[in-house]
Amino acid sequence: MSLDPRSWDFWVLIGFIGQFLFAGRFIVQWIVSERKRESHVPVQFWYLSVIGGSITLAYAIHRRDPVFIVGQASGLIVYIRNLMLIHGHAH
């Protein structure tokens, strides 16, 4: 596997890392909900959403896929806004 940023393999790896982090948010949410014995969305869910979504957006931009770009970019707005609301109410 080539780790040259210009290679296809590098960007596939980046895409999978983004998807892994993005999917990981559901595992975190599930574990926290099980521990609390009720449905709960922890702040870590939103951070994983931003990080995974940003990496996946970079991959989509590299692929020049407008459908994927719009989907990821619009999701980032929601994730960032949720973090703004969380931190705004924390003080």
**What is the rounded distance in angstroms from the CA atom of residue 31 to the CA atom of residue 55?**
24
Domain limits, the chain: 9-89
Q: What local confidence, expressed as pLDDT, does residue 9 receive?
A: 83
Q: Which residues contact 25 (CB under 8 A, 6 or more apart)?
A: 44, 45, 46, 48, 49, 52
Lowest-pLDDT range of 8-12, 31-35, 69-73, 87-91 = 87-91
Q: What is the pTM of this model?
A: 0.83
Q: Residue 90 gets which letter from DSSP?
A: -
List the structure tokens of 59. 């991959």
pLDDT tens for residues 40-71?
999 999 999 999 999 999 999 999 999 999 99
Q: What local confidence, expressed as pLDDT, does residue 5 receive?
A: 65
Average pLDDT of 9-27? Answer: 93
